[in-house]
Structure 1
Amino acid sequence: MQTEKVAKHIINWLKDYAVNAKVNGFVVGISGGIDSAVTSTLCAETGLDVLCIEMPIHQAASHVSRAQEHIKQLKERYPNVKDTRTDLTPVFEEFKTEVSLDGEQATVDMALANTRARLRMTTLYYHAGLLGLLVAGTGNKVEDFGVGFYTKYGDGGVDLSPIADLLKSEVYKIGEYLKVPASIMAAAPSDGLFGDSRSDEDQIGASYPELEWAMEKSENGMTEKDFSGREKEVFKIYKRFNNSNKHKMVAIPICEIPNNLK
């Protein structure tokens, strides 16, 4: 990948889109991870307004410290960057008092994890509406189009996706070029939706390099019969996530009414 040229292409694309949409810039949720760090830095490079928002909900301390380190560095480098912090923990706790928490614990935990993401989406759009900004998504290609590892109408609810055509490994290359803090470059990827430091690999069962490999093999028409051992296991993991999350990756089904019934 021609890293510098790709970065400049994304920056120009972001700026052109915002200018044509007649908005002031972008709002980005900052998690302390590589994807939000790269996305916010690319947005800052446009010279347009960028609002970085921390939105902790019982967040792991390591995530908070990395997010704050990144925002501090970004504000020192770019005068067009501002930040704010919205502690959504009280909102989340109040929400839990108003809904039923009955059911299998794993199911309840997942529903609440997705609720965290949707509360954050609502917060981003609130600020975007106030300030005339676009919500910039932070999903990469593997997450968005491979395993569907995001929350529908949560972190998947965005106005534009600047890094969604980049594999995770390519996001890291862009991050190195953009001088993203070393602590973020070295951190294990995590969605931060469970209030602890569990990684994406802990949840998925495969690393991003492995998922990139499986995504490539799947796109080339290969099946699990073509592999054995760990490769077969990883391929099955990829296909399971890809199939179960397909509803996130395709357009919402519409019941089309035949003309003779109208």
Structure 2
Amino acid sequence: MKTEAVIDHITGWLEEYCARAGTKGFVVGVSGGIDSAVSSALAARTGLPTLVVEMPIHQGRDQVSRARDHIAMLKARHAAVDGVEVELTDVFDSLVTALPGEPQGAAREMALVNTRARLRMTTLYYLAGQHGRLVVGTGNKVEDFGVGFFTKYGDGGVDLSPIADLMKSEVYEIGRALGVNDAILGAPPTDGLWGDSRTDEDQIGASYPELEWAMTYDGDDAALTGRQAEVMAIYRRLNRANQHKMVPIPVCEIPDSLR
């Protein structure tokens, strides 16, 4: 990959999209992970007003500190960057209390995990509306178009996606070139939605290098090793199950004969 050229291309794309949309800049949520760090650094690089938002909900201390350090770094490097922390833990807890359903159970736990992401999306769009800006997505190609590892109308609810055509390994390459903090580059990828230390690999059952391999493999399944076959099965199962996230919303079209 021509890293510097890709960085310039994405930066120009962000600038042009913002100009066409008639908006004033960007809002980006950061989590202390590589994808949000790269997305926010690219937005900041445009020189357009960029608000970088950290939104803890029962967040691990290390995730919060990485996000804060990243915001401080961007502010030091780019005059048009501002940062804000919106503490959402109490808001989330109040919502949990108000929501119906059994207090425990796997289905409720997963629903509440996704609710965290949707609460953050609501916050980003509030700030974007307040400042006349666009919400920048932070999903990479493996998450957005491979295994669908994102929350529908949560972190998937954005105005534009600057890194969604980059594999995870390419996002890391871009991050190193942009000078993203070593603490972020070395942190195990996590969605940060569970309030514990579980990683993306813990949840998915495969690492991002393995998923990238599965996403691009076009050989004979009979040639796969035991672990390769296991990874391929994980990838295909998630890709199939999460197609509803990756395709446009189905519209029931009414035949002309019924109008």
Q: Same fold (TM over 0.5)?
A: yes
Residue segments in structure 1 that go unaligned for 5+ positions in a row: none
Letter in 2 for 1:239: R
TM-score, normalised to structure 2's length?
0.98
- How far apart are 1:21 and its partner, in Å? 1.0
Alignment of 1:76-87 (within 5 A): 76-87=76-87
- How far apart are 1:228 and its partner, in Å? 3.0
Match of 1:110 in 2: 110
- Give CA-to-partner distance per residue, 1:209-261, whole Å, 9 cap, x none: 000000001xx3x5754423100000001011101101000111111111000
Among the aligned pairs, what percent are the same residue? 61
Match of 1:5 in 2: 5
- How far apart are 1:197 and its partner, in Å? 1.8
Match of 1:101 in 2: 101
Match of 1:157 in 2: 157
- How far apart are 1:146 and its partner, in Å? 0.1
Alignment of 1:114-125 (within 5 A): 114-125=114-125
Letter in 2 for 1:78: H
RMSD of the TM alignment (CA)? 1.1
Aligned-partner Cα distance in 2 for 1:223–1:131: 52
Aligned-partner Cα distance in 2 for 1:23–1:252: 26
Match of 1:251 in 2: 248
Matched, 1:227 2:224: yes
The number of aligned residues is 259
Letter in 2 for 1:236: A
Query: For the Cα contact (< 8 Å) 1:140–1:163, is it kept in 2?
Result: yes
Query: For the Cα contact (< 8 Å) 1:224–1:236, is it kept in 2?
Result: no
| Runs of 4 or more above 4 Å deviation | 222-226
Match of 2:239 in 1: 242
- How far apart are 1:101 and its partner, in Å? 3.3
Aligned-partner Cα distance in 1 for 2:101–2:150: 22
Matched, 1:70 2:70: yes
Aligned-partner Cα distance in 2 for 1:61–1:109: 22
Q: Report the 3-state secondary structure (helix = DSSP H, G, I; strand = E; otherwise coil) of the residue aligned with 1:71.
A: helix
Q: Report the 3-state secondary structure (helix = DSSP H, G, I; strand = E; otherwise coil) of the residue aligned with 2:87.
A: coil
Residue segments in structure 2 that go unaligned for 5+ positions in a row: none
Match of 1:209 in 2: 209
Alignment of 1:138-157 (within 5 A): 138-157=138-157
Match of 1:55 in 2: 55
- Give CA-to-partner distance per residue, 1:95-120, whole Å, 9 cap, x none: 11111232862211110000000000
Q: Report the 3-state secondary structure (helix = DSSP H, G, I; strand = E; otherwise coil) of the residue aligned with 2:92.
A: helix
Match of 1:171 in 2: 171
Aligned-partner Cα distance in 1 for 2:223–2:101: 43
Q: Judging changes above 3 Å, is the alpha-carbon distance between structure 1 residues 92 and 223 closer, same or farther for their aligned structure 2 residues? A: farther
TM-score, normalised to structure 1's length?
0.97
Letter in 2 for 1:230: R
